[in-house]
Chains A and B, each alone.
Chain A
Amino acid sequence: MTTSNSRWNLLRGFAVSTVALALCFDAFAQPAPGAERPSRRPRTETVGFKENPKVWAVFRDVVRGPGEAVVRIKSDGKDIALGTVVAADGLIVTKHSELPVGQAPVLVRLRDGRELPAKVTAVDSKLDLALLKIEATGLKTAEFADSKVAVVGNLLAAPGPDQDPVAVGVVSVATRMVKPRELPSSMPPKDSGFLGVGLEEAEGGAKIMSVLGNSAAEKAGLKINDVVTLIADTAIIDTETMINTIQHHKPGEVVAIKIKRDGQEQEFRVTLGQRPPEDPRSARRDYQNKLGSELSNRRGGFPAILQSDMVVKPTDCGGPVVDLDGRVIGLSIARAGRTESYVLPGELVKKAVDEMKAGRVAAGPEKK
C-alpha cells in the first residue's frame, strides 16, 4: 500500500487499524468512524461468499468439464497467467499483456503436470489476446459460447488448474460495448519504455497528437500528425497496438519506428526513455481500487466486456469463465478494480481465436 500522500496518513490516524475510506467518488468528506472499531473485528472470513472455500467447493461440478481445458502459463519460475486450450494439438489462448517483455521463455503446465515450452504464434492487440503453441496432442479444448446467455445476477465461476475455481461471483453488468475512454487506462509495467506522445486513431496506424517536451519522441524528431505504422517488427494498426508495443520494450532500448509524414514513409531510430512518475491524480483515483487486490496492468481498450464481481487475480486471467450450466461465456481478461473483473465475451474470443489460427490477424510480433 502506498502512503506517499499525507491524506492517507491522516485517514490512517483516525481509523486505527483500518483505512476507512468514504466512498463518495473521489470525495474528501469523511464519515465519522462511529462506534465500530475495526480492530476488534473477528478476522474469520468463512461467512463470506467470494473468498469462502466452502462456497468454492460447491462449484466443483460446475467447473469440472471446462476446467480440463485450463493450463497454467509460467515464465521465469512464476505463474503469470492462465490459458485456455482451443485446439487439441496444442493451441492455447491467453492474455497477451501478461506475457513477458522481450524473449523470455514461456512455459505451459498441463493438467497432468507436464511443463512444455510455448511459442507465441499470433497476437490480437485490440482484445489483448495471444495464441500460444505447444508440442502436444489430444488436449481437452474449451468451446466459447455467446455471452448473451449471461444476464445480470447469473452466477459465474472461473475454473483454474485445480478442482476448485480460482474465482466465483455474479454477472454485475451484462455484455456491453464500451467507449475507448470508459475503461481504466493501462498501468504500464514498471520497466517499460516511454516514448512521450499523445495518440489518436488514424487510417492505417496511430496518429501523434502531441509530443512531450524533452521526451524520446522529441529527441528522435517525431512530430505532431505523424502516423506511426511500424515499431520494431510490429505493424501498428491502432493506438492500443502502439501503446502495447512500446510497453513491451525497455527504457534505453533503440527501436525503429516507421511513420507516414505528408504521404511519405520515413523511419526513425528512437532511444526509449524512462517513464515519468505517475500522475498524482490517477494515483489517488486508483488508490481505493487497489485496496484489497492487485489489478491487471491492462484493464482497458476492449471493444466490449462483461463485468463481474469475481475477484480474478491478474495472474489468473486468460482462463475461461463459465455459468452454472457449464457454458464458457468468455475469458477472464482483467482484474479492473476493487469491485470488478472483466470478462471478454465468448463470441469475441471465438472470432479472434479463429482469425489468429488462420493467420488473419493484422498485428503480431511475427508479422510485418
Chain B
Amino acid sequence: MKRWRWRALSTAVLAAAFGVAGASPVRADEPTKNATPKVEAQPVAPSTKPGVAATAPTTKPATTTAVATPKPKPIPPAPQVAGAPALPPEFDKANPETAADLKALQEQVKTIVAKVSPTVVGLRVGGGQGSGVIITDDGYVMTAGHVNGAPGRDVVVLLQDGKSVKAKSLGVNYAIDSGLVKIDAPGPLPGGKWPFAPLAKSSELKRGQWAIALGHPGGYRQSRPAPLRLGKVSVVTPTVLRTDCTLVGGDSGGPLFDLQGRVIGIHSRIGQGLADNMHVPADTYRDTWEQLARGDSWGLPAFARSTAYLGVQLDQASPDCKIGEVFPESPAAKAGVRAGDVITKLDGQRVANYGELLLKLGKKKPGDEAAIEVQRGIESVKLKAMLTKRPEAK
C-alpha cells in the first residue's frame, strides 16, 4: 500500500468522508524503504545533529560518499511501560464493600491526582481546544488525533500553573484517533525537563478496574484545575476503552489514568449514555510511536482520498460556516476565500451550517467547479473554486 500523508487537512472533508464511508481503518504503517525524511513536520529532537537529517539524500551532489541507506532524523525511543507498586488489598474486590474500602479508594485517588495533575495540559490548535498529557521529560504530549487535526500545526500548550508554551503537532492516526504533540520549550524542572506521566499496558486492563479521568471540559480555564472524574473501565479492546468517567467537549486528548497514576488511555469521544465515554488505548501510542513522532498521518478510509479538496479549516467556535484558516495554494486560496468569510451558499444552494457544507462537498469530485458564496463583513461575495485532489506528501 502506498504511504501518503496530508500536508493540510480539511476537517470538513475528513468528516464527510467518514460520514459516508465508515470503512475499516486503512493503515499504511509498514516501513517504506525509499521514504525521504520529512522536513517540515519534524520534531525538533534535542539530539539531532544540525545539517544531517534535513536534506534528502537524492538531492545531494554526487561527491557525497555513497551510503547504503539515508539516515532519517533520530526519533527518541517510545516511552516504556512503567512498573508500579501493587495496590492495597482493598482493591482486589470487584466493588468496595465496606466504609474502609471507600476510605482506601479515596486516599489512593487523592494521592494519585496530586501526583499526576502537573502533567495534564490544555491544547489550543487552530480554533479548537482540547487536552493532553505530557509523557516524556523532553516534552512529548499524547493527545487525540482529532485535536491535532494534522501534523505540523502550531499548538499552544496550557499548563496547570497558568503558563503557556508553544508546541507543534506531530503524527495522527485518524482511524484510532491518536495524536502526538511536541513542546518546543524547556520544562520547569532542573535541566529543562518536564514533569511527565508514566504509561501502563492498556491491553492488560480488566473490566471493572478503577480509572481516573482528567482534562479540560469546555476548554481550559485558568481559574479551574483540570476537573477529576472517577469511574470504572467497562470495555477493553485494542482500539478503544470505555469507562463511566464522564467526558465532554474540551476533554479530548486528556488522560485516563489507572489508580497507580499511569496513563492507560486518551479521551476521544462520547455516546448518548453517561457510561459511554471512549478513550484511545495507551498501547497504540507505543506501538506506532515512530510514525507519530515522525509526523506521519494515516488511517483514513480509501474513500477520503477521492473526495474533492477545498482547503479550508472552519472556525470551530462559530455556529455557521465561518472559515478559520485557508490553506496556501489550495483551491479555496486560489478562488479568493479568506479567513473570516462565512460560506452561505455552495452551487447556489444555501449552506446553513457545517453539516450541510460537508454533505454538499462530499458529493463533488476533484476537477469539479464549486460556486461559493461567502459573507464578508456586510458584503456578499461570489467566488469560483476549482476543486482538486487532496495534496499528497511530496
Contact = CB atoms under 8 A, between A and B. Distances in A.
A363 B2 CA distance: 71
Interface in A10-49: 10-11, 13-15, 18-36, 38, 41, 45, 47-49
Contacts of A307: 224, 227
Interface residues of A, number: 77
A367 interface: no
Contact of A23 (B207, B231, B269): B269
A55 to B, nearest CB: 6
Interface residues of B, number: 98
B142 interface: no
A7 B301 CA distance: 20
B86 to A, nearest CB: 20
Given A41-B235, A54-B95, A172-B228, A32 B18 contact: yes
Contacts of A62: 99, 102
Interface string B301-332: 10000000000001011110000000000000
Give the dominant DSSP class at B's interface: loop
Given A280-B319, A292-B276, A25 B250 contact: yes
A171 interface: yes
A134 B268 CA distance: 49
B134 interface: no
Interface stretch (A186-194, A203-211, A256-264, A337-345): A337-345
B299 A32 contact: yes
A324 B318 CA distance: 44
Contacts of B69: none
A93 to B, nearest CB: 26
A340 to B, nearest CB: 7
Contact of A24 (B110, B252, B271, B319): B252
A136 interface: no
Interface stretch (A125-133, A146-154, A220-228): A146-154
Interface stretch (B42-50, B215-223, B335-343, B372-380): B215-223
A27 B313 CA distance: 11
A1 interface: yes
B346 interface: no
Given A29-B128, A182-B223, A337-B218, A48 B99 contact: no
B251 A23 contact: yes
A173 B234 contact: no
B258 to A, nearest CB: 14
A324 B228 contact: no
B272 A34 contact: no
Contacts of A36: 235, 237, 239-240, 278
Nearest to B178: A31
A51 B149 CA distance: 34
Given A9-B355, A23-B252, A309 B229 contact: yes
Contact of A289 (B240, B248, B318): B248
Contacts of B283: none
22 contacts: A9-B355, A10-B15, A14-B20, A23-B130, A25-B250, A27-B146, A28-B11, A28-B12, A31-B146, A49-B231, A58-B99, A153-B106, A153-B113, A154-B106, A155-B102, A170-B229, A173-B224, A178-B223, A182-B224, A288-B249, A288-B270, A293-B274
List 5 A-B pairs, minimum CB-CB distance, nearest first: A7-B355, A23-B252, A31-B177, A153-B110, A25-B250
Interface of A: 1, 5-11, 13-15, 18-36, 38, 41, 45, 47-52, 54-55, 58-59, 61-62, 151-155, 169-173, 176-179, 182, 280-281, 284-285, 288-289, 291-293, 307, 309, 311, 324, 337-340
